[in-house]
Amino acid sequence: MEAATNFKTPCKQDRVKRGSGGSLGTPSSMVIPASPFMQKLGCGTGVNVYLMKRTDKEFQSPWAIKKINSKCAKTQVQVYQKRLDEEAKILKNIQHPNIVGFRAFATAKDGSKCLAMEFGGEQSLNDLIEKRREEGKKAFPAATIQEVALHVARGLKYLHNEKRLLHGDIKSCNVVIKGDFETIKICDVGVSLKLDENMKVNDPKARYIGTEPWKPKEALEEGVITDKSDIFAYGLTLWEMMTLCVPHLDLLECDSEEDDSFDEADFDEDAYYEALGTRPALNMEELDESYQQVIELFSVCTNEDLKKRPSAAQIVEVLEAVMQEPSK
């Protein structure tokens, strides 16, 4: 299997001098504006992400700035700060065109730590899914799903094989898109876990965090976590693009064009928890024969038996052959 050592994300490292402003190479002259002066792009657990537009001659491309949500409870700030510190350290050593690149780790005017990243795109895949559902559309075209599948798989192959890292939270929210799928990048490596030479997480203190609807059976049952845990969540991300829904939340009635509201009283909590870690159903009547390969990929990736799931490298090999693209 071809190594991915030739994958590079431009980082302008010659312009960001190590040691000039911090242990992670933040230039001392860089100023992060206060949150109200930046456009909010999104949010996650305990953090917000902002768009920082830079207008000086040396730096022209915008950055995505991740910082702790000021409304977090004080007892949680330290937890989220530690996670942000870890993400900065991990991201600094990652260079791949399908993973957002590290730019700097700095302190904003309000004293909060900020992780500056490559601006991967205006919208997450989840944003596009929600927009498509609101417009009353159905599944993304099969070719688009295959394109996303290939690029995300390339990013996972790099993380697993080259960096021995489990992403740990693959889902549509953590895939960012620029333009009309011009670039497709994985983001949010803050809960990554180290993999050993057998692609297993062996640290007894390590905990798979993930996001509940995308968790594989082994994570829910405190089983052995491997690279295949990312593959299960990856399969569910393809399912999201075919259904425009969140996995296992069937009672949201995602296919309803008349009422997008959700009555909590009608939610079958027992059925939801029983379904977690399993392969959700597809409405095959809505998917024509062009989706056959995507459906097959989704199915094999979401096998409850992790040993029967493919590796990211195997997925890349198959998709490149199917899509007749040259190896990267």
Closest CA to 4 of 301, 327, 227: 327
Name the residues annotated as catalytic: 169
Across the chain, the runs of DSSP E, i.e. the strands, are 39-44, 47-52, 63-68, 102-107, 113-118, 123-124, 165-166, 175-178, 183-186, 193-194
What contacts 88, CB < 8 A, 6 or more positions away? Answer: 24, 102, 105, 115
Q: What tokens appear for 128 in the block? A: 């596009």
Residue in the structure block whose two tokens are 């159903």: 281
Closest CA to 66 of 118, 124, 12: 118
- Give the span between the Cα atoms of 4 and 1, in whole angstroms: 9
Tell which phi-psi region holds residue 253, choosing left (phi > 0), alpha (psi between -120 and 50) or beta.
left
- Give the span between the Cα atoms of 137 and 105, in whole angstroms: 40
DSSP letter assigned to residue 7: -
Instruction: Give the CB-side neighbour count of residue 148, counting CA atoms within 13 A.
Output: 33
Distances in Å between the Cα of 159 and the Cα atoms of 33, 216, 251 are 32, 19, 35
- Give the span between the Cα atoms of 190 and 205, in whole angstroms: 16
DSSP letter assigned to residue 165: E
- Helix, coil or strand: residue 50: strand
